[in-house]
Amino acid sequence: MLLWSVLNAHGGVLPEDVHVLYANTGKEMPETLDFIRECSERWGVPITWLEYADHDDPQQRWRMVDFDSASREGEPFAALIARKRLLPNPVKRICTSELKIRVMKLYAQQVLGFEHWDVLIGYRSDEPRRVAKLAAPHKEPFDRSAPLASAGVSAADVGAFWQRQPFDLRLPNMNGKTMHGNCDLCFLKGGKQVFSLIREKPSRALWWIDQERKGVPDGKGDGHLFRKDRMNYETMHALATGGHGELFAFDDEEIEDCACTD
């Protein structure tokens, strides 16, 4: 909706100095990749697909891909974990910073030649805490803003917008929010949501189990878990596939958007 608003404000054409980027972690739902391609095709707007690429030189840790060549088995994410010898967690979110923010920053600097730029984020007016954090002091060469929030656009408005469109994300929607967005079993999602996503498709847990098994060389300490404050992915998978999930009480949290962009 943010992209559509930018296009709409410029006669349906993307201004020359505006660029649309998608940083693929390889762990998004296939519907997300389909949706990004569909936005590009239906609205006639170029979208640049980027991924983390492993390289000894930090300046070369990115590559351009497209819908066909984009990773779908978590390859960029696994490569980052192997490089850092560390699993990301809610406190040390190296996945957001390296797979998304840094990849886009390198592209902006090396290909677009930007020295300073503005980043538009699609936060809504019902996310004041996230919006407020955008104004925090930083040392990045870009400033971030949330035009939809500034315009008072809420989750309900976004839902209504997509109902008027001839296409949408095609992922289950609960009051304008989806627990299927971003990386499929992101550790920032609530335990109940992750458990439900595993139960819906148990094979989703396998990549996460694999990373927790090999995330650090000795497999000891908290560094080999995505979350130390709840059961690991292997246990959730065993409960989900063994039919005993109801025996374990997760916090009864609401569906919340994954806070990856915070």
Which residues are at the interface with ligand SF4 (CB under 6 A)? 25, 88, 93, 95-96, 99, 182-183, 186, 188, 258, 260
Name the nearest CA neighbour of 167 among 11, 37, 3: 37
| Tokens 């292997």 belong to residue | 234
Shortest distance, position 100 Cβ to ligand SF4, whole Å: 6
DSSP 71-99: --SSHHHHHHHHHHTS---SSS-HIIIII
Residue number with CB closer to ligand SF4 (104 or 188): 188
How far is it, in rounded angstroms, from Cα 200 to Cα 189? 15
Shortest distance, position 8 Cβ to ligand SF4, whole Å: 28
Residue number with CB closer to ligand SF4 (36 or 95): 95
Residue number with CB closer to ligand SF4 (7 or 208): 208
Residue number with CB closer to ligand SF4 (18 or 101): 101
Shortest distance, position 43 Cβ to ligand SF4, whole Å: 24
Shortest distance, position 193 Cβ to ligand SF4, whole Å: 12
Shortest distance, position 84 Cβ to ligand SF4, whole Å: 13
Residue number with CB closer to ligand SF4 (47 or 183): 183
- Contacting residues for 55 by C-beta, under 8 A, at least 6 apart: 61
Name the nearest CA neighbour of 135 among 5, 26, 262: 262
Length of the chain equals 262
Q: Strand pairing of 117-120 and 142-145?
A: parallel
